[in-house]
Structure 1
Amino acid sequence: MTRIATALASADKAAPELAADVVREALARAGGDIARSVLLFLSADFAHQAHAAVQAAARAARCLQVTGCTAPGVFTEEDWIIDRPAACAMVFCGQTGLAAHADAVLPRLTFAAPNAATADWLAAAARRYGLLSTDGSAHGAGRIWCHGQMAGAGHCDTAVAGARTAIGVSRGV
């Protein structure tokens, strides 16, 4: 059985424990103890603590498949936060999850720093959707992680495996 759930939280200070808290809340909502994979988004306030936050999220999820990035604001289907340190997570339990190696026919969920989204890299894969990770000013590069590790190349590809997906576009929250 597939169980997917999200959680969102904010705090006065960016701390790795906030990432762990949203993963635990999402796991509780999904009715699971162990995640197959996690999409984790952190506000730009976490730029200097991204690695520690990803590790905290992985420990809380009991899995290494933690993928995501920093962004000026974060949101779920329930709410959004743009003006303070925040974290949101989507946990996948059961048969559906993020692929460790994206199948060539699946649309790629992509995260990239603006300077890493080169024409050659963009042309090298199947259909892509995702976002550019920026700092708080939306001009500099953000931090990106893929499968529990910081993405040194400044970009990351994955795909949702075990489910039919549909891609939609939103021009605002």
Structure 2
Amino acid sequence: MNSKEILKYGIGILILEIILLGLWIYQMKPDPSTSIGIVLILPFLFGLNLIIGLIFYFLKKPLSKLFLINSIICPLIFYAFWSLWFIYWNERNYEDFSFGVDKRKLEVSLSKTSDYFSISDLTNKPNGSTTGLYFGKYERKGDSIKLTDGETKMYIIKNKLIGFPEKPTEIKLTRTE
């Protein structure tokens, strides 16, 4: 097998694994709680290609070098797709608004994949952690949103929060990206 044929096989394998790895991540739709899975998947992809390459090497097949090189390339492609998936993950799954009450920075987060909301305190929290204040279901009606957490009912109307227990008057909300 000459180098042109090996190059053709290499390009074919590269295109095939780009398509398969991209579809796999798209089908999995991972969320941040599953990010630890990359610790298992990357070594698996490396090991799989390495084993195939070694088998071909011992069988004296010319594609052995291709799979040995692919043992590095395949995990890098997977890592790139995995990272790209999470770049705009929050924007795809949540609609966020920020507001302030008594020198505290707060955030309303509405899930785009369910009917749940949360209101969290973002003030003085190390490492990006937050303190959850309210959590419940929301319902859209026209241009308004009704937030319900047990007995507490709040409304978002024209980017204003109405009925927040700590400041019942309307609070201007700022949409965050």
TM-score, normalized by length of structure 1?
A: 0.21
Which structure carries more helix by proportion? Answer: 2
Larger CA Rg, structure 1 vs 2: 2
